Structure 1
Amino acid sequence: MKVKICGITNVEDAMMAYEAGADIIGFVFDQKSPRHADYEVLRQASRAGLTISAVYTDISSIYSSEMMEDYVQIHFPHDDSLIDYVHERGGRVISVIRYGLEDLSKIYADYKKADIIMVERKPKISEVIDSDDFDGKKLGFAGGIDQNDVHMILRRNPLLIDVSSSLEYAPGRKDRHKIMDFFEALGEYYEDHR
């Protein structure tokens, strides 16, 4: 299982998240988001050797991307051709399904070429984590996950847990203590489930 800390807006937070244990550092490229990142921050994090995910909310941003990221997170409806495009350029794909807004089984089948299919639900994915919709599917999860409910998510054996706002003191600014508490909760879960 991988942990992605998303909504990073500066190099200091990227390094802090990585040093705490994040496998993937996520940058949002959407001008409307309070967590919108500057591409130069992604470049610096990439040069530091971090595994990077860039979150895109429109197709034109992907086509104009320099593709420096390891993962392209596609946060809008798409088809195999876009996944193929990213793969041809050496990237991996995280395709996002918005739980309750899209037909999970149909979209899951449509996104089968993605490296990770992630289900997102706002405000909290943990409120629906016991749904039969997830049975038999290899998924990542996002949406309000924090140290208090991460154990519920881990019971599903996810490929990825994506965490953002629950680790902040302000939009786009990560809180060291919340990050440490989150990774401590992860460690406790795995210690209890050996």
Structure 2
Amino acid sequence: MPRVKICGITNLEDALAAISLGADALGFVFYPPSSRFIAPEIAAQIIAKLPPFVEKVGLFVNTEADTVNLTCKEAKLTLAQIHWDASEVFYAALDVPYLPVVRVTCKEDLTRFCGQYRLVDAFVEGYGGKGKRIEENWFEGMDCSKMILAGGLEPEHLKALRPFGFYGYDVSSGVEETKGKKSYEKMAKFLQEANA
């Protein structure tokens, strides 16, 4: 059964609703230009009220390893999601588990970080929340068991994606009422389809 991360959490109500519906992970965006940006101290207040066994993921863009380490420590995050082509030196300096993100422009990009868990998202100018999807036929014949698929996902897409065997799905805009505010009904439908 694929894991599901609800990303772009900005408030406790949405966080608790996502967990109650069966989300495995919550994502917090520490990228100031994003409409889903959350300050580390606010994320820490939300995370302090979460039940155990929930993955708390921080999303970072073009920042220093020290900043990632400090934010993860302050907010009690369990995983850092790295959204740019960071160097090996950067990764070596991280004190926290991390998930690299591959911003896919062609089928060949899907083989980056092969053999390790990674998030794959369609390339867009800028970062995050554009709702663009990767071409499904690019996954044919590939081992998707360590891929977490993101980008333009909605409940009606999931049935067609099941045969690929993705490790998980990462959804944000597809379960929102407005940017930064989740829809209980959309989250429920997404998680129901993901777990079908």
Residue 52 (structure 1) aligned to one of 29, 53, 56: 56
Q: Secondary structure at the match of 2:101?
A: strand
Q: Secondary structure at the match of 1:118?
A: strand
Change (3 A) 1:132 1:102: closer
Change (3 A) 1:170 1:118: same
Alignment of 1:182-193 (within 5 A): 182-188=190-196
Q: How many residues align?
A: 180
**Alignment check: 8 A CA contact 1:20 1:179 kept:** yes
Q: 1:43, CA displacement in angstroms?
A: 1.2
Q: Percent identity?
A: 24
Aligned mates of 1:51, 1:45 — CA distance in 2: 13
| Residue aligning to 1:94 | 99
Q: 1:45, CA displacement in angstroms?
A: 3.3
**Alignment check: 8 A CA contact 1:11 1:41 kept:** no
| Residue aligning to 2:68 | 62
| Residue aligning to 1:35 | 36
**Alignment check: 8 A CA contact 1:45 1:52 kept:** no
Gaps of 5+ in 1: 189-194
Aligned mates of 2:104, 2:171 — CA distance in 1: 16
Alignment of 1:24-173 (within 5 A): 24-47=25-48, 48=50, 49=52, 50-60=54-64, 61-67=67-73, 68-86=76-94, 89=95, 91-100=96-105, 104=109, 107-108=112-113, 116-121=117-122, 123-125=131-133, 128-132=135-139, 135-137=142-144, 138-173=146-181
Larger CA deviation: 160-169 vs 42-51: 42-51
TM-score (norm 1): 0.82
Q: Deviation digits for residues 129-180 of structure 1, max 9, x if unmatched?
A: 2215771353111001110101223322112210000100100000001011
Q: 1:71, CA displacement in angstroms?
A: 0.9
Compute the RMSD of aligned alpha carbons. Answer: 2.3
Change (3 A) 1:102 1:31: farther
Q: Which 4+ runs in 1 deviate beyond 3 A?
A: none
Q: Deviation digits for residues 65-87 of structure 1, max 9, x if unmatched?
A: 2432111000111133333333x
| Residue aligning to 1:6 | 7
Aligned mates of 1:134, 1:81 — CA distance in 2: 33
Gaps of 5+ in 2: 123-129
**Alignment check: 8 A CA contact 1:144 1:166 kept:** yes
Give the residue type in structure 1 aligned to 2:121.
E
Q: Deviation digits for residues 38-82 of structure 1, max 9, x if unmatched?
A: 212321333223420000012224254243211100011113333
TM-score (norm 2): 0.81
1:181 aligns with 2:189: yes
